[in-house]
A and B are shown apart, each in its own frame.
Chain A
Amino acid sequence: MKMILKNNYVKLLLVVSLFIMGCNTDETQTVTNFDNLVLEDNFDVDGQIDTSIWNFDIGNGAEQGIPGWGNNELQFYTDRTENVTTENGFLLITARQEAFNGSQYTSARLQTKGKFDQRYGRFEARMRLPYGQGMWPAFWLLGDDSDGEIWPQVGEIDIMENTGDKPTEIFGTIHGPGYSGAESISKLYDLQNDRVDTGFHIYGIEWGPNYINFYIDDVLYNQLTPEDVADETDGEGQWVFNDRPFYIILNIAVGGNLPGPPNADTVFPQTMLVDYVRVYTE
């Protein structure tokens, strides 16, 4: 999410699945149940976002030193109710087409840095996504950098990303040293007879020492381990997901390197609905 993603998912998918088949990961897999709920936001209070959990990222990234949020994204993030609010038990993040502080689009990005950071666990959100060329919604985690460490050493886990021109496809991705941006390790999941913008789906990971499982609804569609990283990077990549706590981010980006800009067919405004975000530990 943070940097350019343009890798060949099909190739990765093949490599990952060959690896899993070839090494019988199943036999050595540790089964753990993450059933201790430690964070839950059901967005049940209308018009009020719980700021004991969430921070708002504001602007076009320039203040953070990454204009276009590192990806040439086109939106200006605000904390206005036009872009982010709660209603009927849902968090609503709305991307709009409007001239605002030099940008042509506005949207919102919520994150939990300093308020909720955790290493390992089950992170999941039930969401309905926007649609249309240029939409780039995401539910993702970034490693806590308060010790001065920088990306990609801190690590990034993209639990769910989607581009609005492909309403049946989502992908889960990890970034770390030796496999970030265009070289990140990713897998695409293509929904059968269903879409991401017409109903709610649960997007999540089960994350423990030396593994991350990616799932949508009741389908576990990928597992990534240090062996996968080594295999993908010819032994150069480093597994950084045992090192530190990560925080949660929810956003819609508009345009940028991955989805490309909106076109004449893109309908605005577009809203992402989040029913809940839940985090469990063992």
Chain B
Amino acid sequence: MRNRNYRLLNQAAVAIVLFIAVAGCERDLSDEATFATFPTQPDIFTDNPIGLTDEFFISFDPAIGANTEAFDTDNSEAYEGSSSIRIDVPATNDPNGGFVGGIFLDRGEGRNLTGYDALTFWAKGSTTATITGVGFGSDFVEDKYTTVRSNIQLSTNWRKYIVPIPDASKLTQERGMFIFSADPGSTNGAGFVFWMDEIRFENLGTIAQLRPSIFGGEDLVEQGFTGSVRQVTGLGAKFNTATGGDVTVAPSPRYFDFSSSDTSVAFVNESGLIEIIGEGTTTITAQLNGVLAEGSLEITSAGAFESAPTPTRPESSVISVFSDAYSNIPVDYYNGFFTPDGQTTQGGATPVGPNESVISYTDLNFVGIGFFNNVPSVNATAMTHLHVDINVQEAINPGDFLRLQLLNSVGNNESSGVFTINGTELESQEWVGFDIPLSDFAGLADRSQLGLLFFISDTTISNIFVDNIYFYQE
């Protein structure tokens, strides 16, 4: 029984176990002492799959368009030996699915990859197409340590490709040996073939100068409220390689150690989920393998968000643009960022609690919510009113105003109407609800194809929250 376990041990582990046996002579050596000894087999595919499941390729779900017919091995092409993996990347309009991809899964309990620094493979294409992504660490169960290098440019000769391991010390028991995804995006929708061979983990010794990043390397500043959550996004790990210059991979959050400078304001879990729990300011940063990541998020939490009153009208008489109380119409954007037209307004929809969000605008001069471009416009002929809740986040001065403008049939026989709310009708730091008859939008003759709602302050009011924007029938 024990002997069988020992066979899996590497020499270092044997030494440790022996040391324990000598030093701790009072205790009998238990089977539990033989942990962390998964196979270190580096090869994934040479001429055959190595140590992989019988059906070693597991495709992405055909329901999302993955073509399961596109994967095969090829005994007439090989970089080394006699066989390679052949991928027939389908055309965009292939009835069997317009992309190909999936994973290779280890047959056993997983492998110990801590001694390697990169996944490497050789590939060549029938044309100089680009493969969407290649990597490892995905097992279609937990996907804990997924790492993907995007946009692999093929050559029509065999060429070696490297996917650096962000932090190999994490990979003590990994089943996700290989993941790839390819579509004809780089070939104008036409299918192509590529071959892969000699897929393995290696300890190159030349993967160095790690530069990790979160939030795409940007230092972001955001407002938050107790109970709301954010995801750390834009994860990257840039390495310098021996002959290929810098190579960047996208690691999963689990490779990073996240931290919050004030854990009474917010904390981050190992999946990169930020939870705001109190009032104050905190900065979210991260390290990857001991190296501080570029990029951060400074969150200022004003404590619990004071919500707007929950709407009570029945859903059947409402067309909702933005409200947690209703199912909303799809929109193009909550902030069109018409910067070339002089817009200064920042912000948009933002979470303020569990399952709760508002629209927050800062530096307001004007801003549009669009629902006409890639989504249906709104036929509001049966509707009588527009409802909107507004909470001004600053002192209100004489002369301040907020003008609402509705546009019908945007850009094509367009018409529009405006309604002005005087500053005296608004409150600072308090929600005020408005029910505006659509007939009060002077100049809006037709409302069968509403597509844009503007908030215009001409900088008299700079910071507002907006919630519960919906058309309704009285």
CB of B245 within 8 Å of the partner chain: yes
Q: Number of contacts between A and B (CB, 8 Å)?
A: 35
**Chain A residue contacts of B209, Cβ below 8 A:** 131, 197-198, 267
Contact digits for A180-200, partner B, Cβ 8 Å, 1 yes 0 no: 000000000000111101100
Q: Is B243 an interface residue (CB 8 A)?
A: yes
Docked Cα-Cα span, A131 to B246, in Å, equals 11
As a 0/1 sequence over residues 219 to 262 of chain B, the CB contacts with chain A under 8 angstroms (1 = contact) are 00000000000000000000010110110000000000000000
The answer to whether B203 and A193 touch across the interface, beta carbons within 8 angstroms, is yes
Least Cβ–Cβ distance between B217 and chain A, in angstroms: 13
A198 with B208: CB separation less than 8 A? yes
Closest to B205 in A: A193
**A121 at interface by CB-CB < 8 Å:** no
- Contact A167 B245, beta carbon cutoff 8 Å: no
Contacts of B203 in A (CB 8 A): 193
Contact present for A168 and B206 (CB under 8 Å): yes
Q: Do residues B206 and A194 form an inter-chain contact, with CB atoms below 8 A?
A: yes
Report the Cα distance A178→B40, complex, angstroms.
55
Highest count of chain B CB atoms <10 Å: which of A168, A195, A265: A195
Interface residue from A132, A195, A265, A267 paired with B205 (Cβ < 8 Å): A195
Residue A166 lies at the interface, judged by CB distance under 8 Å to chain B: yes
Shortest CB-to-CB span from A233 to chain B, Å, is 31
On chain A, the residues within 8 Å of B204 by CB distance are 193
Q: Which residues of A have CB within 8 Å of B246?
A: 265
Cβ distance B277 to chain A, nearest Cβ, rounded Å: 37
A165 / chain B contacts, CB cutoff of 8 Å: 245
User: Pick the contact of B245 from A194, A265, A267 — CB < 8 Å?
Assistant: A265
Q: Which listed residue (A132, A195, A265, A267) contacts B206, Cβ 8 A?
A: A195
* Chain B CB within 8 A of A86 CB: no
Complex CA gap A267/B210 in Å reads 12
Within 8 A of B (CB), among A107-166: 131-133, 165-166
| B245 and A197 contacting across the interface, CB-CB below 8 Å | no
Minimal beta-carbon separation of A182 from chain B (angstroms): 23
Contact of B208 among A166, A197, A265, A267 (CB under 8 A): A197
- Residues of B close to A198: CB separation below 8 A: 208-209
Give the shortest distance, in Å, between A218 (CB) and chain B (any CB). 17
The answer to whether B243 touches A166 (Cβ under 8 A) is yes
With a CB–CB cut-off of 8 A, which chain B residues contact A267?
A: 209, 211
Instruction: Give A192 to B203 CA distance when docked, in angstroms.
Output: 11
Task: Give Cα A140 to B211, complex, Å.
Answer: 32
Complex CA gap A81/B61 in Å reads 59
- The interface residues of chain B lying within 8 Å CB-to-CB of A133 are 245
The minimal Cβ–Cβ distance linking B204 to chain A, given in whole angstroms, is 7
Q: Which of B170-226 contact A (CB under 8 A)?
A: 203-206, 208-209, 211
Chain A residues with CB below 8 A from B206, complex form: 167-168, 193-195
| Count of interface residues, chain B, beta-carbon cutoff 8 Å | 12
Contacts of A193 in B (CB 8 A): 203-206
Q: Which residue of B lies closest to A198 (CB)?
A: B208
Q: Please indicate the chain B residues that have their CB under 8 angstroms from the CB of A166 in the complex.
A: 242-243
Q: How far is the CB of A268 from chain B (nearest CB, A)?
A: 13
Interface residues in A254-268 by Cβ distance below 8 A to B read 265, 267
A170 to B243, CA, bound (A): 13
Nearest CB of chain A from residue B369's CB, rounded to whole Å: 37
CA–CA, A14 and B205, complex, Å? 27
**Alpha-carbon gap, A168 to B208, bound state (A):** 11
Docked Cα-Cα span, A194 to B206, in Å, equals 5
Chain A 67-86, CB-CB to B under 8 Å as 1, else 0, gives 00000000000000000000
Contacts A131-B240, A132-B240, A167-B240; A195 near B245 (Cβ below 8 A)? no
When C-beta atoms are compared, the residue in chain B nearest to A193 turns out to be B205
Q: How many Å lie between the Cα of A166 and that of B242 in the bound state?
A: 6
The CA-CA distance from A181 to B203 in the complex, in Å, is: 37
**In the complex the two chains form, what is the Cα distance from A193 to B203 in whole Å?**
8
CA distance A197 to B242 in the complex (A): 11
Q: Quick check: A195 and B243 within 8 Å, CB to CB?
A: no
Least Cβ–Cβ distance between A116 and chain B, in angstroms: 34
Q: What residue in chain B is nearest A265 (Cβ atoms)?
A: B246
Nearest A residue to B117 via CB reads A193
Closest to B209 in A: A131
Closest residue of chain B to A194, judged by CB? B205
Check if A168 sits within 8 Å of B245, measured CB to CB: no
Residue of A nearest to B240 (CB): A131
B-chain residues with CB within 8 Å of residue A194 when the two chains form the complex: 205-206
Q: Hey, which chain A residues are within 8 Å of B205, CB to CB? A: 192-195
Report the bound CA distance from A267 to B291 in whole Å: 15
B435 to chain A, nearest CB (A): 55
CA distance A267 to B211 in the complex (A): 10
Query: Which residues of chain B have C-beta atoms less than 8 A from A131's C-beta?
Result: 208-209, 240
Q: How far is the CA of A81 from the CA of B242 in the complex (A)?
A: 31
A168 to B, closest residue via Cβ = B242
Write the B90-112 contact mask toward A (1 if CB under 8 angstroms, else 0).
00000000000000000000000
Which residues of chain B come closer than 8 Å to A132, judged between CB atoms?
Answer: 240
Closest to A190 in B: B242
B471 to chain A, nearest CB (A): 49
Instruction: Return the chain A residue nearest B243 by Cβ.
Output: A166
B79-137 CB contacts (< 8 Å) to partner A: none
Min CB distance A43 to B, Å, is: 24
Contacts of A195 in B (CB 8 A): 205-206, 208, 242
Q: In the docked arrangement, what's the CA distance between A272 and B303, Å?
A: 49
* Complex: A99 Cα to B48 Cα, angstroms: 57
4 smallest CB-CB distances across A and B, nearest first, come from: A193-B205, A168-B242, A198-B208, A265-B246
Could you list which residues of chain A lie within 8 angstroms of chain B, going by C-beta atoms? Answer: 131-133, 165-168, 192-195, 197-198, 265, 267
> Which B residues are closer than 8 A to A by beta carbons?
203-206, 208-209, 211, 240, 242-243, 245-246
Q: For the A-B complex with A131-B208, A167-B242, A197-B209 known, give 13 more contacts whose Cβ atoms are closer than 8 Å.
A: A131-B240, A133-B245, A167-B208, A167-B240, A168-B242, A168-B243, A193-B204, A193-B205, A193-B206, A194-B205, A194-B206, A195-B242, A267-B211
